[in-house]
Chains A and B, each alone.
Chain A
């Protein structure tokens, strides 16, 4: 398969003279026109601009055996510098394309207040491509930052995109959404990404966001405008830090059957919020969603909120030290009409093995309301341990919908992301499982399946405790308080606290010698 090269100051000369490592191309359009499915385009170091190099507007249908790969020569050294005009990268009408190792950033530009995403994968009628489907797109190991705050702009958006993988990317400095899985998206996997808005506030005269002093969301599934019910997407092992909503679903047309597994929210305003956006339609509710092994740490507002969901299952999650309600199930109202956002009318939530501690309220299920449509119709909470909250259970734990509720000190010590070996939460959950989350191994779900797969590969570095991350670039992702490379230190990941035998490393340390032996 041919390999071609592009450089910021290259020359657009046709092959075989042009497109080599010594005579690289200059513009994206020329490169795409002179390369084919199965080729690799190596992106050399330097800064690429719209004025000199154009935009990465790519439409190529490739196959699993002839993928098209756009790859940094040196990871994260090429910078794609946008001028705020929007969509500096747009991959549409495409399949089996990989974008690997770039940095992409924009600037605030009041001349472009339109809703243009910095990077968009997929397109639909709004973009002028009705009926288009983009699939099997891999976006990995890139750094996205600095959206144009004058517009309603996300850093990375998928739209009418199926069976794709977004993995190992980092997102910084945005006032709206970092990673947005948009409408008409199916069977995608969003994995091992890190998003931190770094307190990027709204700009005067710019687009007003939902959370004015931080980015609106780290990871959002926002399905407004869809023509199909988005379904079967998986968010796994992502970390949101310092955002408005860590993991947010706005269900206008789906999601159904979505899974959130092994994710972490750290110091967000709200950790997880799955919310209905229809007063009449089932497609406007989160339906049959699964949230398992997620951890919410020190949120400033509600930690874990399910609004207007139907048949959502929450398993083995840990909610730690929130400033408001830990676990909330409720039904919102349409602010325009006051009508309940309860979709097709039945709202149901089921929780098992949840650990909720040190919040104002551990568990709050809205069971009474002046509007009868704004209560949870069907719910059970099984083997939930609520400890150290100002109010542990609301309604009270005597409500028959609780099964085996407990108020036991879990003795987590400094550990947040798994249940320590010595914790009384070990093995007391449904089926002998722990109560609370265990985020220790990597999920490895396959795009296109909608099925969650947990691997035996340790998530955390066995020696340093680090979360998996790509190259560290000075001045970009090396800020010690707000970067991915050392988020493990803020999460309290201490290799000395790993469970015995974690990662297959033999435990060769003997117990201490017993003392105080007496005989009578």
Chain B
């Protein structure tokens, strides 16, 4: 995966009323300023996602965590975080100019 995007993958939850997942991410561990919801309308929502460079507004070490939610709007606690250093392609181009 390129340095300007992030591919996230995790184990599927098994609750029968599972509706989707929420990816939370930001530049500081435990402080997540961005969210992305995943819900394809089935009891088996996808357990992986690609965040392209448009999701990131600055370069740096980004931290990611995932929660699950069900059809009663109950949301789990966040997973253990993971991190990746993001270097935006667009930013590099501006720097060259």
In the complex, per-residue mask of B8-22: 1 if CB is within 8 Å of any chain A CB, else 0: 111101111110010
Given contacts A421-B43, A517-B10, A517-B66, is CB(A510)–CB(B82) below 8 Å?
no
Q: Is the CB of A511 within 8 A of B15?
A: yes
A507 CB contacts on chain B under 8 angstroms: 17, 70, 72, 74
Complex-state Cα separation, A519 to B8, whole angstroms? 5
Is the CB of B55 closer than 8 A to any CB of chain A?
Answer: no
B56 within 8 A of A: no
CB atoms of A506 and B7 under 8 A apart = no
Q: Does A86 contact B (CB under 8 A)?
A: no
Q: Kindly supply a per-residue 1/0 record for chain B positions 44-84, scoring 1 wherever the CB is within 8 Å of any chain A CB and 0 otherwise.
A: 00010000000000000000111111111011111111111
Q: Does A126 contact B (CB under 8 A)?
A: no
Number of interface residues of B (CB under 8 A): 36
Q: In the bound complex, do residue A512 and residue B84 qualify as a contact, i.e. CB atoms below 8 Å apart?
A: no
Chain A residues closer than 8 Å to B77, beta-carbon distance = 510, 513
Q: Is A509 an interface residue (CB 8 A)?
A: yes
Quote the shortest CB–CB distance from A505 to chain B (angstroms). 10
**B25-55 at interface with A (beta carbon < 8 Å):** 43, 47
A125 at the interface (CB under 8 A from B): no
Do A508 and B74 contact each other (CB < 8 Å), given the known contacts A420-B16, A518-B8?
yes
Count CB-based A-B contacts (< 8 Å). 93
Give the size category of A's interface with B: 20 to 34
The smallest beta-carbon distance between A516 and chain B, in angstroms, is 4
Any B CB within 8 A of the CB of A337:
no
In the bound complex, what is the Cα–Cα distance between A422 and B15 (angstroms)? 8
Find out whether the CB atom of B21 lies under 8 angstroms from the CB atom of A514. Answer: yes
As a 0/1 sequence over residues 484 to 516 of chain A, the CB contacts with chain B under 8 angstroms (1 = contact) are 000000000000000011000011111111111
A520 touches B17 (CB 8 A): no
B1 interfacial contact with A, CB 8 Å: yes
User: Contact between B80 and A509 (Cβ–Cβ < 8 Å)?
Assistant: no
Q: Which one, B16, B67, B68, contacts A500 given CB within 8 A?
A: B16
Q: Return chain B residues, CB-CB under 8 Å to A520.
A: 1, 6-7, 9, 84
Q: For residue B6, which residues in chain A have a CB less than 8 angstroms away from its CB?
A: 519-520
Whether B76 and A510, one on each chain, are in contact in the complex, defined by CB atoms closer than 8 angstroms, is: yes
Q: Which residue of B lies closest to A509 (CB)?
A: B74
Please indicate the chain B residues that have their CB under 8 angstroms from the CB of A514 in the complex. 10-11, 13, 21, 47, 66-68, 76, 79
* Shortest Cβ gap from A504 to chain B (Å): 12
A510–B78 Cα distance when bound, in Å, is 11
Query: In the complex, what distance in Å separates the CA atom of A420 from the CA atom of B37?
Result: 26
Alpha-carbon gap, A31 to B16, bound state (A): 59
Complex Cα spacing A508 to B71, Å: 11
| B24–chain A nearest beta-carbon distance, Å | 11
B-chain residues with CB within 8 Å of residue A511 when the two chains form the complex: 13, 15, 18, 68-70, 74-76
Q: Which residues of A contact B8 (CB under 8 A)?
A: 517-519
Point out the residue from B10, B16, B47, B80 that lies within 8 Å of A422, measured CB to CB. B16
Q: How many Å from the CB of B26 to the closest CB on chain A? A: 13
B77 to chain A, nearest CB (A): 5
A467 to chain B: closest CB distance in Å?
Answer: 23
Residues of A within 8 A of B1 (CB): 520
For A507, give the chain B residue with the smallest CB separation.
B72
Take A507-B74, A519-B82, A520-B84 as given contacts and tell me if A513 and B16 are in contact as well, using a CB distance cutoff of 8 Å. Answer: no
**Residues in chain B within 8 A of chain A (CB atoms):** 1, 6-11, 13-18, 21, 43, 47, 64-72, 74-84
4 closest residue pairs by CB, A with B? A421-B16, A422-B16, A511-B68, A500-B17
A-B contact pairs, 21 of them (CB 8 A): A421-B17, A507-B74, A508-B72, A508-B74, A511-B15, A511-B70, A513-B68, A513-B77, A514-B21, A514-B66, A515-B79, A516-B10, A517-B8, A517-B64, A517-B65, A517-B79, A517-B80, A517-B81, A519-B7, A520-B1, A520-B84
